[in-house]
A and B are shown apart, each in its own frame.
Chain A
Amino acid sequence: MTVIRASDVSFQYRENKKIIENINFSIEPGKITAILGKNGSGKTTIIRLILALLPLNEGKIYINNVDLQSKDGIKYIRKQCGIVFQNPDNQFVSPILEDDIKFGLSNHCIPESLHSDCVKSALEKVNLSGFEKRKISTLSGGQKQRAAAAGILALDNNILFFDEAGSMLDPNGKIELRKLIEKLRNQNKTIVLVSQNIDDVITADRIILISGHKIICSGSAREVLTDYEKLIDAGIQIPFAVRVYKDLLQKGIKLKKCPLTIDELAEELWNLN
């Protein structure tokens, strides 16, 4: 059972400049799927096509078997999907946090009498309880991204997209955001992460690797992140433990299996005896 299915999707802005070509993939419910690729690889374009923020001219996209291009396709997507963008500053409509969340609620025709409760429960979900009246400009980067997430959680979206949402945050902000995404996965939300940073995707259930406008590889996080050659091909940084594994191999030292994290590396080295 797939939540999102893309079939033969291609996109280009101008003649002869394809951004993505013949993309086929599916996204499963209740899991974190990461779309990994370097800048300009087309990953943001894919997300925008799914969310109907760009016109789909070639190929088909289905959300819960609803065709994106059908009569009420776009309305359906807006109800099901929410997105947190890369730049924390350019996604808020109001300077006060609760007003911004209420903006989304109004757009989805939720009665005003329910607004306060929706805001309160959304803020609880992102650990920002009590921040209703705060000015968004006084929040840290990590808090802003959590506030943006609260905005979409208030709408009870089931499919949440994070488009390089951690890339402009400091290390603590990145950690906050990752914790939130884990928490949401545990609440059975379907999450799609777009990133070029392996630290963001290492806990994903599935990774789709994009390079040269195409999907070159997809599978579990372990399968993709230990595929040294494909990562280099895609211009993605190799995880430290994988790099060590490969470099030790060149020096004639072979570990039983390729580790993904430093802890696994330690375990493998211990097992060498």
Chain B
Amino acid sequence: MIDLTYQTGNSILHRTKPVIKFLGLIFCSVIVLLSKNLLCTLISVSLITILMVFANLSIKEVFSPLKKFFFFLIMIFLMNVLFTNSDECLYSYYFICISEKGIEQGYNIVLHTLTITVLSSVYIRTTTSIEIMKGIESAMQPLRVFNIPTKDIALIMSIALQFIPVFFNDIERIKKAQMARGANFNRGSFLDRIRSVIPLVIPAFISAFHRADELSIAIEARGFQSDKENT
């Protein structure tokens, strides 16, 4: 879906310290979420432009991995525009009510979602998996006071990120195998389609758990010391 892989490069962002990038991402995301309408639009456009410059990425490079995501955003926008309840409908038909409130809501949700997705996508593309892990770990240092296993969490998050494309590949493979033996994912009633997903989801989860099992043994064999072991 989204291009969640590291791209080698030497931009300013590539060279920025991981912990600064991580905290910056959190900070910018919060600012975006707390603002609305025109202010939010200005902030979002500025942030994305600055990032594009710092990461040496063109508009095409930033947005084209998100192509498949746009459909999802359009759906969200339409859902909000058509179905938000309001006293002042500009146009109404049965349960459909197009109102200023709805349009505003839809716009803001899409803007927030799109901006944060772009910020995260640029972050992931300019930060290696190990750097992400170190960044999260450094940023969470203060939490160690509460005995939270920050090192383990950081490792888990960075591994999860890198295995997302692997997981999608597995699903593709399983889908082909099931289709080859007669599964049909596009047919039948709504209930049928939900049920038809089972031969896809169960093997995919089993495969994911299997990977997790093997990987955890490999990590342990390489001397990783969980926070709980450090006495």
Instruction: List chain A positions with a Cβ less than 8 A from chain B.
Output: 48, 51, 53, 78-79, 81-83, 85, 87, 89-91, 93-96, 99, 102-104, 107-108, 133, 135, 151-152, 155
Contacts and interface: CB of A to CB of B under 8 A. Distances in A.
B6 A89 contact: no
Given A104-B223, A107-B223, A95 B218 contact: no
Interface stretch (B48-56, B198-206, B209-217): B209-217
Contacts of A53: 217, 220-221
B223 A51 contact: no
B218 A103 contact: no
Given A53-B220, A93-B219, A133-B8, A99 B128 contact: yes
A82 B162 CA distance: 24
B178 interface: no
Nearest to A85: B218
A51 B223 CA distance: 11
Contacts of B75: none
A202 to B, nearest CB: 27
A87 B6 contact: no
Interface in B128-160: 128-130, 155, 158-159
Given A90-B211, A90-B215, A95 B6 contact: yes
B67 interface: no
A185 to B, nearest CB: 21
Contacts of A78: 221-223
Contacts of A133: 8
Dominant secondary structure at the B interface: helix
B96 interface: no
Dominant secondary structure at the A interface: mixed
B166 interface: yes
B168 to A, nearest CB: 13
B5 interface: yes
A22 B222 CA distance: 28
| A53, A93, A104: residue with the most chain B Cβ atoms closer than 10 Å | A93
A261 to B, nearest CB: 34
A103 B214 contact: no
A152 B222 CA distance: 8
B70 interface: no
